[in-house]
Amino acid sequence: MSTHHLDPGPGLVTDVFDPARPPVLTVRPGDDLRVRTLDCNGYGARFEGDREPPRMLPSGRGHCLAGPIAVEGARPGDVLAVTLRSLRTDGWGWTVAGMPTPLNERLGATEPTRLLWEVDDESGTAVDAHGFRVPVAPFLGVVGTTPAEPGEHSTIPPRPGTGGNVDCRSLVAGSTLYLPVQVEGALLCLGDGHAAQGDGEVGGTAIECGMTTELTVDLVPAPALPGVHAVTPDERIAFGFDADLNAATDAALDGIVTWVAAELGVPRTRALAYASTCVDLRVTQVANRTWGVHAAWPRTALRRPA
């Protein structure tokens, strides 16, 4: 197996998913990667007062992502396993709120606000310019394969067929995210580092930051679920994405019931009964034009009798 390094630079980043875009790197299943990504806006430097730093991709139409990365042998119908082994921030980040969205208008929170943070990975905390401190748990907001439909696809909404802007704060180091493959090579793109975020990403952003990620990519012939799902250090997670919250909830719950039924070898109704005792339904994010819901099954729950 090989180890690959990818740093941000002209021609090595993208702000769309596009099946016609050539890969910037090709790897083999089982290879390790060390990928450095800029924050979602692609800032190349810190803020200085109110002055916005220059962006690597000035269009601002989507997240600044590493990729696409091709995986040899990946074919439509396969599932790509992305194991996140280590995540380290660039040591600083920002959060904004008050964007003109229907949610913010209902909340009466439409005055633009920016917080600037110093992030300390060693202590596991971030401190803003006002002295407020929050715990950090770094993860990538966007990890996705490329949709098969021709043309450019926005990085903003998550997709049930390819993942992308999942924004699930549980996907910390030690997690594996499983993504369906729709195009030759999978064409993986990733980035949008978050130092800290609550379930929902309710203000529209997290602590947005640059990130250095060590990961492994592999192909899975027969995954537990055909759709987007994950195994974290603490939980097994099934995702639902839809513009309708009820439909997103149904999809997440359907995935976890399917998983429980297969794992325990029980009928679906019995699996639902077991799930009702220990599975948590959480709103992943409300910020990306598409509701995200995830069903989390603790890994220590529903143990088989000896």
Q: Give the separation between CA 53 and CA 42, rounded to whole angstroms.
A: 9
Which residues, 6 or more positions from 239, have their beta carbon under 8 angstroms from its beta carbon? 158, 160, 163, 166, 168, 227, 228, 229, 230, 251, 252, 255, 284, 292, 293, 294, 295
Q: Which range (154-158, 241-245, 288-292) has the least confidence?
A: 288-292
Q: Of 291, 139, 125, which is closest to residue 208 (Cα–Cα)?
A: 139
What is the rounded (10 degree) CA torsion for 121, 124, 129, 130?
A: 180
CB atoms within 10 A of CB 93: 28
163 dihedral zone (left: phi>0; alpha: psi -120 to 50; beta): left
Question: Residue 111 pLDDT more than 90?
Answer: no
Tokens of 237: 């997670």
pLDDT bin (cut points 50, 70, 90) of residue 272 is: very high
Q: How far apart are the first and last CA of the chain?
A: 38
Helix or strand or coil: residue 201?
Answer: coil
Question: Residue 51 pLDDT more than 90?
Answer: no
Which residues, 6 or more positions from 51, have their beta carbon under 8 angstroms from its beta carbon? none
Mean pLDDT for 124-146 is: 97
Q: Which runs of consecutive H residues, i.e. helices, occur in the chain?
A: 102-107, 245-264, 268-278
Q: Give the separation between CA 22 and CA 27, rounded to whole angstroms.
A: 14
The mean pLDDT of the chain is: 94
Domains annotated on the chain, with CATH: 3-220 (2.60.120.580), 234-298 (3.10.28.20)
User: What pLDDT shows up at residue 134?
Assistant: 97
- Output the DSSP codes for 61-103: SS--EEEEEEETT--TT-EEEEEEEEEEE-SEEEEEE--S-HH
Q: Does residue 80 contact residue 74 with C-beta atoms inside 8 Å?
A: yes
Question: Residue 304 pLDDT more than 80?
Answer: no
**74: exposed, middle or buried (Cβ count in 10 Å: 0-12, 13-18, 19+):** buried
Share of the chain above pLDDT 90, in %: 81
Question: Residue 109 pLDDT more than 90?
Answer: no
Looking at the DSSP assignment, which residues form a beta bridge with residue 35? Answer: 6, 213
CA angle (221, 222, 224) in 5-degree steps: 140
pTM exceeds 0.85 for this model: yes
Tokens of 2: 């090989």
Question: Residue 188 pLDDT more than 80?
Answer: yes
User: What pLDDT shows up at residue 118?
Assistant: 97
Mean pLDDT for 275-283 is: 96
pLDDT bin (cut points 50, 70, 90) of residue 40 is: very high
Note the pLDDT tens digit of each residue in 21-38: 999 999 999 999 999 999
Note the pLDDT tens digit of each residue in 240-267: 999 999 999 999 999 999 999 999 999 9
Mean pLDDT for 48-71 is: 89
22 DSSP assignment:
P
Q: Which range (9-23, 44-58, 141-155) has the least confidence?
A: 44-58
Q: What is the number of H-type helices and E-type strands within the chain?
A: 3, 22
User: What pLDDT shows up at residue 22?
Assistant: 97
User: What pLDDT shows up at residue 2?
Assistant: 83
Which has more confidence, 143 or 58?
A: 143
